[in-house]
Amino acid sequence: MKKISDSTISRLSTYYRTLSRLIEQNVETVSSDEIAEINNITSAQVRKDLSFFGSFGKRGLGYNTKDLREEIAKILGLKKQWNVALVGVGNIGRALIDYAEFKKQGFIIKALFDNDPKKVNTEVGGLKIHDIENACNIVKKEKIEIAIIAVPAKHAQAVVDTLVQCGVKAFLNFAPVTIKVPSDVIVKNENMSIELEALSYFLTQNKKGD
């Protein structure tokens, strides 16, 4: 299959949420122009993104919100439940355990890991914290497919290496470092410092421009 760009995939995610909201509001049809307007992009972009996967609209009318949402769910693989492990039960980790948005989209946190002996064997949010040493047993038992890395930067690579050994192929990394993985494994980064620094750059530029 043709390689689809990361930006197309992340826009599909936003269309998915847009459609969910429209469905909640009992809207039944929507045009590419309306979807575009809501997300500050062009309608051509919306149609192009969708066209990689099929043609889901009706000329002269637009898209049926429920149908299109369903199609995007299929494309993104959201029709199944994903079993997720969370590594690092610190501030960020704890917040993510309770983050309702995840569960809503079918990402279920099934296992917690940490390396702090004080935390291991305690419970958070009804889940026992396991020693990262025993990762492979738990990964196998809970059929973990995705791991969220919320450990300090200096431990992130080691943690990922361990889990790659256990067969985990997808990572959401909150640690502010670049992680190296084999080519059949994917890492997506969530790095708040980068975005804040982009704001800092923007504000600095604008000040200069005055």
Partner DNA sequence: CAAAGTTTGTTTGACTATTCACAAAAAATT
Partner DNA sequence: AATTTTTTGTGAATAGTCAAACAAACTTTG
Give the residue, chosen from 14, 20, 38, 62, that forms a contact with DNA under the rule CB under 7 A.
62
* Direct distance between the N- and C-terminal alpha carbons of the chain, in angstroms, rounded to an integer: 49
Q: Does 51 bind DNA (CB under 7 A)?
A: yes
How far is the C-alpha of 50 from the C-alpha of 14, rounded, in Å? 12
Q: Which residues does 101 contact at the CB level (< 8 Å), separation at least 6?
A: none
How far is the C-alpha of 88 from the C-alpha of 190, rounded, in Å? 15
| Residues that contact DNA, how many (by CB under 7 A) | 26
How far is the C-alpha of 51 from the C-alpha of 55, rounded, in Å? 6
Beta bridge partners of 114: 131
Comparing CA positions, the residue from 145, 193, 153, 196 lying closest to residue 173 is 153
Residues between 87 and 106 with contacts to a copy of itself, criterion CB under 8 A: 91-92, 94-96, 98-99, 101-102, 105
Q: Does 61 bind DNA (CB under 7 A)?
A: yes
If contact means CB under 5 to 8 A according to the sort of partner, which of a copy of itself, DNA, none does residue 188 touch? Answer: a copy of itself
Q: Does 45 bind DNA (CB under 7 A)?
A: yes
Q: Does 59 bind DNA (CB under 7 A)?
A: yes
Binding site for a copy of itself (CB under 8 A): 1, 6, 9-10, 12-14, 16-17, 21, 38-40, 75-78, 82, 91-92, 94-96, 98-99, 101-102, 105, 107, 145-146, 169-172, 176-178, 180, 184, 186, 188-206, 208-209
